[in-house]
A = this chain, B = another copy of it.
Amino acid sequence: MNSELSMSDLAPLETAHVILRLEHDPQGLTLHWDDGRRSRLHALWLRDNCACPQCRHPQALERTFMFIDHSTPAIASAQLDQGGVLQVRFLSGDEAHVSRFSTGWLRAHGCALDALPERRGGRVLWDAGLGQHLPTIDYADYIATGEGLRDWIEAVQRHGIVLLRGVPTEPGQLLEVTRRVGPVRTSNFGDTYDVVSMPNPNASAYTSLGLELHTDLANWHSPPDIQLLFCLKSSVTGGDSVFADGFRVAEDLRLADPEAFELLSTQELEFRFHDASCDIRASAPTIAVGRDGQLQRIRFNNWLRSPMVMAESLVGPMYAALEKYWRMLRDPLYGLHLRLEPGCLIAYDNSRVLHGRTAFDPRSGERHLRGCYLTLDDLQSRLRLLERAPLKA
């Protein structure tokens, strides 16, 4: 791999697009692409991202150039060579420096915001209708092929839920499936936990009660991102699984009742779980929204919700807003009902998809799910490695 053209990136950075022409001045340059896009690149931005061995550590690939130790760079010249490599000559005080940028890198990293949508995977919001075409992957494909693994990860990113079927019904298989993506995210419930009805439960999950739709571990500052539930036994009466896309419901609430949405997205609620071995508390809004208005995380868990701390005048409206969201979650329009059979492993994005179950009769048979969590960073990293073509095989 040509280290200059790879721009210190282990993945190939290719693009079908061509730079038709460029203009430069001391403060920056403008690229004119064949699809009409114009990328204006600031001189310091370009200089700061130089990938030559003086500016990035050649093994660590990390930036060693520290812009604050140099005076402001000015572009002295800029030209494209026939291979599509942009060569820029900078002057900065008495220093001169030449940097080279590949077309693929410039297309992928252009600082303009219009490059962002190309980088972000599409998210598809869903309702109960997804039950007809739930993303489903065969275990054999998942465990043995890069394509199966990639399809599984992309389903988690796109729909926030994916079913794996045909998993051998041995308890250890959950970790086999998980390890293909990354290390288990541990919690106060351990690396893995067995969802069965227990005589002295420390959580409602470990009873035979029906469970309203909820997100797990809302009481952590960073709740787990991805949850996996592996069905080992399922002979009881009742105990069906229910899922809903909390983002779909939140977007519908945003349209139907902007004031309720505003309250749920700005006012924090408090959550807590405590037993003999831990006491874990965090506060956060029910619907976390980024500065760009994009939904980031749903926290909804009636069991773990602690007393609200807010001005008394907000308490009534907050309960009303919570009720509105909760009633929408209960609407059959949104809920996806599923009977997990032994060998089924359902995975879903706990920051977005709520899960629950119907009550079951523990004397009617057995019900045993084994669960664990994964971290989004590990999931995304695995997908990027799969896309790093030269290392894919």
The stretch from A141-149, A304-312, A358-366 touching chain B is A304-312
Given contacts A44-B319, A63-B305, A204-B62, contact A111 B209 (CB under 8 A): no
Task: Give the residues in chain B near A309, CB-CB below 8 Å.
Answer: 109, 111-113, 115-116
Given contacts A62-B303, A274-B10, contact A279 B42 (CB under 8 A): no
* Docked pose: A112 CA to B67 CA in angstroms: 48
The reply to whether A61 and B274 contact each other, CB–CB distance below 8 Å, is yes
The reply to whether B45 and A307 contact each other, CB–CB distance below 8 Å, is yes
The reply to whether B64 and A307 contact each other, CB–CB distance below 8 Å, is no
Q: Which of A218-264 touch B at CB < 8 Å?
A: 220-222, 225
Q: Which of A311-369 touch B at CB < 8 Å?
A: 311-312, 315-316, 319, 322-323, 326-327
The reply to whether B68 and A276 contact each other, CB–CB distance below 8 Å, is no
* Docked pose: A68 CA to B321 CA in angstroms: 11
* Docked pose: A40 CA to B316 CA in angstroms: 12
The reply to whether A63 and B312 contact each other, CB–CB distance below 8 Å, is no
Given contacts A45-B307, A279-B388, A309-B116, contact A60 B10 (CB under 8 A): no
Given contacts A44-B316, A279-B11, A282-B377, contact A307 B57 (CB under 8 A): no
Task: Give the residues in chain B near A308, CB-CB below 8 Å.
Answer: 45, 111
The reply to whether B266 and A291 contact each other, CB–CB distance below 8 Å, is yes
Interface size of A as a range: 35 or more
How far does the Cβ of A131 sit from chain B's closest Cβ, in whole Å? Answer: 25
How far does the Cβ of A349 sit from chain B's closest Cβ, in whole Å? Answer: 13
* Docked pose: A54 CA to B66 CA in angstroms: 62
* Docked pose: A275 CA to B60 CA in angstroms: 8
A80 at the interface (CB under 8 A from B): no
Choice from B28, B42, B188, B303 contacting A64 with Cβ under 8 Å: B303
* Docked pose: A298 CA to B305 CA in angstroms: 28
The reply to whether B201 and A66 contact each other, CB–CB distance below 8 Å, is no
A376 at the interface (CB under 8 A from B): yes
How far does the Cβ of A245 sit from chain B's closest Cβ, in whole Å? Answer: 20
How far does the Cβ of A68 sit from chain B's closest Cβ, in whole Å? Answer: 5
A207 at the interface (CB under 8 A from B): yes
The reply to whether A307 and B276 contact each other, CB–CB distance below 8 Å, is no
Task: Give the residues in chain B near A62, CB-CB below 8 Å.
Answer: 203-204, 273, 303-304
Given contacts A63-B302, A303-B62, contact A312 B207 (CB under 8 A): no
A380 at the interface (CB under 8 A from B): yes
How far does the Cβ of A158 sit from chain B's closest Cβ, in whole Å? Answer: 18
How far does the Cβ of A52 sit from chain B's closest Cβ, in whole Å? Answer: 15
Q: Which of A35-77 touch B at CB < 8 Å?
A: 40-42, 44-45, 48-49, 57, 59-64, 66-68
A154 at the interface (CB under 8 A from B): no
The reply to whether B204 and A312 contact each other, CB–CB distance below 8 Å, is no
The reply to whether B60 and A203 contact each other, CB–CB distance below 8 Å, is yes
Given contacts A203-B60, A206-B60, A323-B67, contact A381 B312 (CB under 8 A): no
The reply to whether B274 and A60 contact each other, CB–CB distance below 8 Å, is no
Q: Write out, one digit per residue, whether chain A residues 261-287 have a CB within 8 A of any chain B CB (1) or not (0).
A: 000001000000111111111100000
Q: Looking across the interface, which residue of chain B has its beta carbon closest to that of A290?
A: B268
A391 at the interface (CB under 8 A from B): yes
Q: Looking across the interface, which residue of chain B has its beta carbon closest to that of A225?
A: B221
Q: Residues of A at under 8 Å CB distance from B?
A: 9-11, 28, 40-42, 44-45, 48-49, 57, 59-64, 66-68, 109, 111-113, 115-116, 183, 186, 188, 200-204, 206-207, 209, 212, 220-222, 225, 266, 273-282, 291, 302-312, 315-316, 319, 322-323, 326-327, 376-378, 380-381, 384-385, 388, 391
